[in-house]
Amino acid sequence: MKRISLLFVCMGNICRSPLAEGILDHIASKAGLGDAFRIDSAGLGGWHQGELPDRRSIATASAHGIDIAGQRARKILPEDFDDFDLILAMDYSNVVELRRRAPHANNIHLFGDFALATGEDIPDPYYGDREDFEFVYARLFSGCSTLVERLGAVSGSWSGKTSSVR
């Protein structure tokens, strides 16, 4: 079985994308599909490189039984566009920037399109409060649940980029 590789991307890799990484890993593991996925996250900027996720992201994940405290922020690398089957950006501005950096990559999608089928942005909770982090968690959990169902079912026949599952 080929592992499906997913990269979640937000601005600084401390709020949304580490939550998405932790949630997807948790859901896949609970479903017995932990080996079906390679999951990572990155930020467009390197402002927080090497740092832990935001304390509020850690607390939100922990309140739901998910430990993301071992993650460290990193900046997206040019090779990520080739190394990951699917790159899911948290908001449309992230998609635009990713496509600017890799105009020929066909694996870049908006999380709200690919995982939620709503086209919505996952809002950045950085300047918000606990409720904002909970809202982001709920949207990410819903989308990640769909991803595990959708991609886990095809992981045995996965042939690479997203065109084979869309």
Q: Could you list the active site residues?
A: 10, 16, 124
Distance between CA atoms of residues 20 and 72, nearest Å: 14
- Whole-angstrom CA distances from 127 to 11, 56, 124, 147 are 13, 11, 8, 28
127, with CB counted inside 10 A (0-12, 13-18, 19+), is exposed
Q: What is the DSSP string of 62-130?
A: HHTT---TT----B--TTHHHH-SEEEESSHHHHHHHHHH-TT-S-EEEHHHHTTSS-------TTS-H
Are the beta carbons of 75 and 46 closer than 8 angstroms?
A: yes
DSSP label of 149: H
Sort strands 86-89 and 108-110 into parallel, antiparallel or unpaired.
parallel
